[in-house]
Amino acid sequence: MVECFAARAEMGFQAVLIPAIFTTAHLWGCDVGLASGTDIETGKIKEDQMANVRPLKVVLYQYHQSPGLKHGLSRAEGPKTLGGILDFAYIRTIPIVTAAGIEAFLADFAPDVPWLSESPKR
């Protein structure tokens, strides 16, 4: 889709693409350490750590992606550290948003795109 829009840039069409997964599932999270707060074999959280479990509206999921699967466009200014370069090349972050979190997610989404703050051209 990115490459489709880029190929038609001369038409003046501009868009912000928000890769996200919207779900009706209930998402839960905690800050329990895997080594101390869970049973690694079963994946169960120890009972004394259950107070840390809380419902979440958005989870940022990171997964590894082959550079061959990414679009060919790049940012004007890229990362400057080795870790940043590797993250940019191989890791993709996608928000998983619950039905209850859609409004907050969209309100907090603030892409760094200069033309968004400009008045539309007629």
Task: Quick: pLDDT tens for 20-79.
Answer: 999 999 999 888 877 777 887 887 888 887 777 899 999 999 888 876 777 766 666 677
* 122 located within any domain: no
* 5 located within any domain: no
What pLDDT was estimated at residue 120?
Answer: 44
Binned at pLDDT 50, 70 and 90, residue 112 comes out as low
Burial of 68 (0-12, 13-18, 19+ CB in 10 A): exposed
What pLDDT was estimated at residue 68?
Answer: 72
Q: How far is CA 85 from CA 67, 79, 82, 103, in A?
A: 12, 5, 5, 32
* 106 located within any domain: yes
* 44 located within any domain: yes
Instruction: Give me the amino acid identity at 34.
Output: L
C-alpha neighbours within 13 Å on the C-beta side of residue 66: 2
Domain extent, residue 91, equals 19-111
Which residues does 49 contact at the CB level (< 8 Å), separation at least 6? Answer: 30, 32, 37, 38
Residue 95 has pLDDT above 70, yes or no: yes
What pLDDT was estimated at residue 117?
Answer: 47
- Between 3-12, 35-44, 104-113, the lowest mean confidence (pLDDT) is in 104-113
* 29 located within any domain: yes
* 73 located within any domain: yes
* 120 located within any domain: no
**Positive/negative CA dihedral, 61, 65, 67, 69:** negative
Averaged pLDDT for residues 89-95: 85
Which residues does 85 contact at the CB level (< 8 Å), separation at least 6? Answer: 78, 79
Report the domain count for the chain.
Answer: 1
Between the ranges 4-18, 67-81, 96-110, where is the mean pLDDT highest? Answer: 96-110
Yes or no: say if 70 and 63 are a contact pair by the CB < 8 Å rule. no
Residue 104 has pLDDT above 90, yes or no: no
Yes or no: say if 96 and 18 are a contact pair by the CB < 8 Å rule. no
